[in-house]
Amino acid sequence: MKSFKEMTREELLSLKSQLEKEYEDAKGKGLKLDMSRGKPSPAQLDLSKGFLDALSSEDTLKTEDGVDTRNYGLLDGIAEAKKLMADIMGVKPESVIVCGNASLNIMFDTVARSFSHGVNGETPWCKLDKVKFLCPAPGYDRHFRITEYFGIEMITIPMSPEGPDMDLVEKYVNNDETVKGIWCVPKYSNPQGYSYSDETVKRFAALKPAAKDFRIFWDNAYAIHHLYAEADRQDEILDILSECAKAGNPDMVYEFSSTSKVTYAGGGISAVATSDANLAWIKKSMTVQTIGYDKVNQLRHVRFFKDFDGVKAHMMKHADSMRPKFLAVLDVLEKELGGLEIGSWTNPNGGYFISFDALPGCAKAIVAKCKEAGVVLTGAGATYPYGKDPEDKNIRIAPSFPSPEEMAQATDLFVLCVKLVSIDKILETR
């Protein structure tokens, strides 16, 4: 089909009136679909059937080294859970602290601790006039909300399929001592599904921060969330902890992960992995904050999966449940928008999202038009710091919750709205 830009005003107007009829028909259907939330579907949660039976009153509730998980103690988690989370992140168990049900909470606490008490003895951020974070974008809105909550200035860093623009990252980190951190989702990034290249990871590890207390917040949320079984469609990234150590920056990174999208989003376990010096600093405050996290649920995870192979096998079932939803979206996008030059989108090997870029200035209008016809998308702008997409073009599509059929239906309406809004945009610029 002809690209919209090549069409004459008349062609566009006649196409528009025809599409408007389709849109009115669609509205008549009274759709109620949600493509906004990166949450597991009931079917996916059902794949963890048996999880709750992994621990019963008949089982011993002691760890291999005899710790009674029912009782107080063991601040940094049970050894078996440390091993499991370490395998998921590809790090050493001794680098890991296993926490509660949400890695977001660990990230919040890490920023909060740096704000109130500083990082490894450096000046608390609350005593500084200015603290900045680099925010590769499009990115994860909940990361940006944490830094915004603590009054940290956020600087947008463009993303590419290899990861953040490292020239810019190096320029800021190596020269500006008010830059204290950067938010990263290094594998199957939210929302684009990009995985950082080896060169990107090595350049991160080789940073020479102006600030002693600069840290990389490495949110490895989708470390094992592949969509395909084929090896050539499974991304792997370098282990940032060992790369930083090799480069002489052992303390420069905190890595986070959880089982929220492995077992239950409402009942998983989370973990942080970092250097000995950082672990010691974290524990100094953690020991004031709690006596210990839920060790019973840690043991439940270990008993259910047995080992990392168990986790990987489990995640392949997830892939089989997620893949059809992604393919349903990609199929409609390709069929309906291919060649029109009014949008581009990602085709990730894993993660939870597809990122769509409309023509500049169209995202808000597309999201609004979809909503009017009963299809909810993540708010336009949500993927950028302060919720402001400078070009108003990025839209995050979350296929995880609805069924493949619902995703196809929702995407049919989505492309219709993309076309209508794009025609108006092109006409107004003629």
According to CB under 8 A, which one of 28, 30, 50, 66 is a site residue for a second copy? 50
Tokens of 112: 């909060």
Closest CA to 273 of 117, 129, 87, 421: 87
Q: Does 51 bind a second copy (CB under 8 A)?
A: yes
Which residue shows structure tokens 């107080």? Answer: 72
CB of 214 to a second copy, least distance (A): 20
CB of 283 to a second copy, least distance (A): 13
Return the SS3 of 183: strand
Q: Does 102 bind a second copy (CB under 8 A)?
A: yes
The phi, psi pair for 407, rounded to 5°, reads: -65, -40
**Cβ closest to a second copy, residue 290 vs residue 347:** 290
CB of 307 to a second copy, least distance (A): 21
Q: Does 149 bind a second copy (CB under 8 A)?
A: yes
CB of 236 to a second copy, least distance (A): 27
The site map against a second copy for 124-143 (x = CB under 8 A) is x-x---------------x-
Per CB under 8 A, the segment of 11-19, 40-48, 180-188, 374-382 that binds a second copy is: 40-48
CB of 78 to a second copy, least distance (A): 9
CB of 419 to a second copy, least distance (A): 33
SS3 for 268-298 is CCEEEECCHHHHHHHHHHHHHHCCCCCHHHH
According to CB under 8 A, which one of 45, 75, 245, 408 is a site residue for a second copy? 45
According to CB under 8 A, which one of 20, 25, 53, 199 is a site residue for a second copy? 53
Size, binding site for a second copy by CB under 8 A = 56
Q: Does 387 bind a second copy (CB under 8 A)?
A: no
According to CB under 8 A, which one of 72, 167, 231, 232 is a site residue for a second copy? 72
Closest CA to 299 of 67, 44, 93: 67
Question: Which of positions 258-297 make contact with a second copy (CB under 8 A)?
Answer: 260, 264-267, 285, 288-297
**Cβ closest to a second copy, residue 73 vs residue 338:** 73
According to CB under 8 A, which one of 12, 112, 247, 408 is a site residue for a second copy? 112
Per CB under 8 A, the segment of 56-64, 177-185, 361-369, 380-388 that binds a second copy is: 56-64
Q: Does 49 bind a second copy (CB under 8 A)?
A: yes
H helix and E strand count, the chain: 13, 13
CB of 141 to a second copy, least distance (A): 11
Q: Where are the alpha helices (DSSP H) in 4-131?
A: 9-28, 42-46, 79-89, 103-117
Q: Give the Cα separation of 150 and 147 in Å (integer).
A: 5
**Cβ closest to a second copy, residue 300 vs residue 393:** 300
Q: Give the Cα separation of 118 and 125 in Å (integer).
A: 6
Q: Give the Cα separation of 352 and 350 in Å (integer).
A: 7
CB of 99 to a second copy, least distance (A): 9
In 318-389 the beta strands, taken as DSSP E runs, fall at 343-345, 354-358, 375-376
Q: How many CB atoms lie within 10 A of CB 8?
A: 9
Indicate the angle between helix axes 103-117 and 141-149, nearest 10 degrees: 20
Tokens of 329: 């979206």
Q: Does 55 bind a second copy (CB under 8 A)?
A: yes
Closest CA to 389 of 357, 414, 415, 420: 357
Q: Give the Cα separation of 29 and 393 in Å (integer).
A: 27
**Cβ closest to a second copy, residue 45 vs residue 155:** 45
Say which amino acid occupies 376: V
According to CB under 8 A, which one of 2, 29, 70, 130 is a site residue for a second copy? 70
The shares of helix, strand and coil residues in the chain, as percent rounded to the nearest 5, are 45, 15, 40
CB of 199 to a second copy, least distance (A): 33
Q: What is the DSSP string of 222-235?
A: TTT-BS-SSGGGS-
According to CB under 8 A, which one of 28, 42, 232, 429 is a site residue for a second copy? 42
According to CB under 8 A, which one of 16, 34, 108, 162 is a site residue for a second copy? 108
Whole-angstrom CA distances from 428 to 13, 265, 366, 390, 394 are 12, 45, 16, 20, 20
CB of 323 to a second copy, least distance (A): 20
Name the residues that contact a second copy, by CB under 8 A: 37, 39-40, 42, 45, 48-53, 55-57, 59, 61, 68-73, 100-102, 104-105, 108-109, 112, 115-117, 124, 126, 142, 145-146, 149-150, 260, 264-267, 285, 288-297
